[in-house]
Structure 1
Amino acid sequence: MPILSIFIVLFYLPKLFALDPYTHFTSLDLPPKSIGPESIALDRFNQGPYIGISDGRILKYKGPNVGFVLFAYTSPNRYERMKGFYELCDDVTDPNLGPTCGRPFGFSFNNFNGVLYIVDALLGLFKVGPEGGLATLIAKSAGGVPFKFLNGIDVDQLTGDVYLTVASQTFDLRNVIQGNYVLDSTGRLITYNPITKELKVLLDGLSIPAGPVVSTDRTFVLFSEFSTKTVKKYCLTGLKANTTEALLNLPGNPVKIKRAPEPGKFWVAVNEIVQQQPRNATPFGYKFDSFGEILLIKNLEDHYSNIIVNLVQEYNGGRVVVGSREVKFVGMYSK
């Protein structure tokens, strides 16, 4: 209900901000030289968080005494066995090494079998078992079109079906980091069936989509469109099956969407960008429901000043976790 959403944003901002119970902030520091926890997840045993960083590794947090350790990686070329065992990619930040080292830009666990499905922004769709290690490539294209910029993923916990977004078919992550891209409408929403191994394009012509998430009742998939500042609903069942509608209009650019612990509720990372050069941006987390009603707005500026956030996710136990490809820590807010 976009009209209702706009009404709430305009007239009830003080109330929505005042409702924020997540006022205590702590951070989990990444290993030295590491940066960019773009995606974050907990496994089926509530362990982690697991994070993807800019040098292509997926790390797992093992507690304050251990910190983050290597869990998985997507590129078989990551380690070059020359002059002994030489680590080619660890801690690199050069985006041009992405095709060699990989860049996991989103992942989601299948909680039944512990398999982690990964979208690597430059290399394709992967999976890795609970033991971690080198991930297995599933696909580098869908519908005969190679992936250009994979950026979001979610798993249907009942069927095991995987939903993923392609941000663009004309530019990739390297263009974004280097600032030499033009926003377009060539994004796609795709589904993967792990039983039949089939990939199916559900939607194309999307304006920088991200953050697909399946509703708890499995009746729809939500995704954001960065360029149009909207959250959209793709219906899976009922009279509106296979149709799309705008659920939420926002004052900023949305990125990934994640389920909240309560059924029918979600979080989306939103960045209000006033100007690009020099950048002036304020990051937020918006909590909303399946009807498009905004429940809470969390201002993240105190700890993410002028930083683009990519993910805001709430876990059981009253924790809200924030991911950004621009920082060297995972931010955690608690009650």
Structure 2
Amino acid sequence: MSKSMVVTVILLAIFLLCSPSSVAILLNKLQLPPPVIGPEALAFDRNGGGPYVTSSDGRIFKYVGPSEGFKEYAYTSPNRNRTICDGFSDFSNIQAICGRPLGLGFNHQTGDLYAADGYYGLVKVGPNGGKATQLVGPAQSNSTVFANGLDVDSNTGIVYFTIASTKFQPKDFPTALLTGGIGDNSGSLLSYDPSNNQTTVFLRNLTFASGVAVSGDGSFVLVSEYFANRIRRVWLKGPKANSSDLFMLLAGRPDNIKRNSRGQFWIAVNTVTLSSGVRVTENGIVLQIVSLVEEYGLEAASEVQEYNGTLYGGSLLASYAIIFTP
């Protein structure tokens, strides 16, 4: 590790653990229909509708306003049983029947919503919602494809997504958390091109690949390694194309990554006692850190997204998404 990188890690650790980082002001809690939990990821459609959020019972919900709240928009399992699944909120084998969407992203040109489902892989929901179509799934019915993070290149329509692990399933995440993912580097970063249905693997041997985000100019894509406390960068264009490097190290575990309209990135980062949103430049320079302890406590924040100047947050374990401002 270079001296400059060591300095970056030390400074970020000071920011996260010691310094008075920006305090988020909660504007609203967007409550999911009880007892559903787990708005791990959020997305907005091309008309500004939403947020759309993932949930623990395999459904994707759309927020339609303060009077009606969240309404069901889609579901990811091809064999979903409402009697068993609706309202399901536990880590168990039932989730394999119901599905567990974890990453979301719209293709704003087509109106299609893509989701990374922890059991069914990469799926697509048409502009009218409803049942998802599986695009990239497990090779066999009993194999594990723990799809996790997702982003769509707004220029090409190519979908980038992560496989967190081929050893663990979403129901096993509490166990993985206790062990810190030791010995599991089975994660990967992939892309799916809807123009030819081609899937490409960019990186293998990742330590629980979680979030992913494409740069504004499409020259690179970032992928977070949750249990390795780092983010890697894969170059898609230019002299470094088809190579990867270390984008940044963090003093906590990075989850989802979301690009804002200025080409910067918001990263959800968690330590044992602190959930935060970290805003960085396309060169990995930290611009802002927003504490989310009051909003999520120890229910780790999974995503921070900036949309039209407002910040939105999600969590794997909370029963609500949040709207807040730093």
TM-score by length of 1: 0.88
Check if 1:115 corresponds to 2:103: no
| One-letter code aligned to 2:65 | G
* Structure 2 spans left out of the alignment, 5+ residues: none
**Counterpart of 1:99 in 2: which secondary structure?**
helix
**Counterpart of 2:237 in 1: which secondary structure?**
coil
| One-letter code aligned to 2:262 | E
Check if 1:321 corresponds to 2:323: no
**Counterpart of 2:296 in 1: which secondary structure?**
coil
Distance 1:13 1:90 in 2: 38
Conserved? CA contact 1:17–1:298, under 8 Å: no
Cα distance change, pair 12–105 in 1 and its aligned pair in 2 (3 A): closer
Distance 2:14 2:86 in 1: 48
| One-letter code aligned to 1:137 | Q
Quote the sequence identity (%).
Answer: 38
Q: CA deviation at 1:65?
A: 0.8
**Counterpart of 2:85 in 1: which secondary structure?**
coil
Tell me which moved more, 8-17 or 250-259: 8-17
**Counterpart of 2:97 in 1: which secondary structure?**
helix
* 1:145-184 alignment, distance < 5 Å: 147-177=144-174, 182-183=181-182, 184=184
* 1:154-303 alignment, distance < 5 Å: 154-177=151-174, 182-183=181-182, 184-263=184-263, 265-273=264-272, 281-303=273-295
Distance 1:117 1:247 in 2: 26
Which residue is 1:9 aligned to? 12
* Structure 1 spans left out of the alignment, 5+ residues: 80-85, 274-280
Segments of 4+ moved more than 2 angstroms: 1-18, 20-25, 145-148, 177-183
Conserved? CA contact 1:320–1:333, under 8 Å: yes
Which residue is 2:80 aligned to? 78
| One-letter code aligned to 1:323 | G
Q: CA deviation at 1:196?
A: 1.0
RMSD, aligned α-carbons? 2.2
Work out the number of aligned pairs and report it. Answer: 317
**Counterpart of 1:96 in 2: which secondary structure?**
coil
Pick aligned residue for 1:90 from 83, 86, 93: 86
**Counterpart of 1:2 in 2: which secondary structure?**
helix
Distance 1:147 1:155 in 2: 23
**Counterpart of 1:296 in 2: which secondary structure?**
strand
Q: CA deviation at 1:171?
A: 1.1
Q: CA deviation at 1:261?
A: 2.2
Which residue is 1:127 aligned to? 124
Conserved? CA contact 2:26–2:322, under 8 Å: no
Which residue is 1:330 aligned to? 321
Which residue is 1:63 aligned to? 65
| One-letter code aligned to 1:304 | Y
**Counterpart of 1:227 in 2: which secondary structure?**
helix
